[in-house]
Amino acid sequence: MPRLRIGQAAELLRVSPDTVRRLVDSGEVKTVRSSGGQRLIDSAALARYMAAQPRPATPALNRESARNRFAGIVTKVTKDVVMAQVEMQAGPYRIVSLISRESADELGLKAGVMAIASVKSTNVVIELPRE
């Protein structure tokens, strides 16, 4: 089985490397030492750990037929007279959507706003999570 470095496991878990080290120190994730002394995590064991974790509750959303939803943070909004280009970061994914300027203004989209990108086919829909 492939073995992962602490940083690679952190990226997969979407946590910091320090969090992975704490999981290793507590025995929740097993490691082996490389010949150079580096801690390596068995990818199959990490997959089992991830599968055993409770799934976070999905934010309350309007019912939509889109299945691919990415919660993230808006990093940039570029507006012209009619359209707006919205860039988001959702975990390791950069998402770009073109929406009407009016929609971007109504949603109050700007850098730092938490939003959800709904991807269906080639369309990306931006919406805000319910509070």
Residue range 99-111: mean pLDDT, rounded: 94
Confidence class for position 83, pLDDT limits 50, 70, 90: very high
Which of the residue ranges 36-40, 58-62, 84-88 would you say has the lowest mean pLDDT? 58-62
CATH assignment of the domain containing 94: 2.40.50.100
Whole-model pTM: value is 0.47
Same domain, 119 and 77: yes
- Name the residue range of residue 99's domain: 68-127
Q: What is d(CA 101, CA 104) in angstroms, rounded to the nearest whole number?
A: 5
Inform me whether the pLDDT recorded for 9 exceeds 60. Answer: yes
pLDDT digits (tens, 9 = 90+) for 53-63: 887 665 555 55
The least confident of 12-21, 27-36, 120-129 is: 120-129
76 and 117 share one domain = yes
Residue 2, class by beta-carbon neighbours within 10 Å (0-12 exposed, 13-18 middle, 19+ buried)? exposed
- Asked if the structure places residue 59 within a domain, the reply is no
Closest C-alpha to 87, from 61, 109, 56: 109
The CB density around residue 51, as the number of other CB atoms within 10 Å, is: 7
Total tally of structural domains belonging to the chain:
2
Assigned domain for 16 exists:
yes
In a domain, 63, yes or no: no
Q: Are residues 83 and 115 in the same domain?
A: yes
- Higher pLDDT pick, 79 / 121: 79
- Residue 28 domain-assigned (yes or no): yes
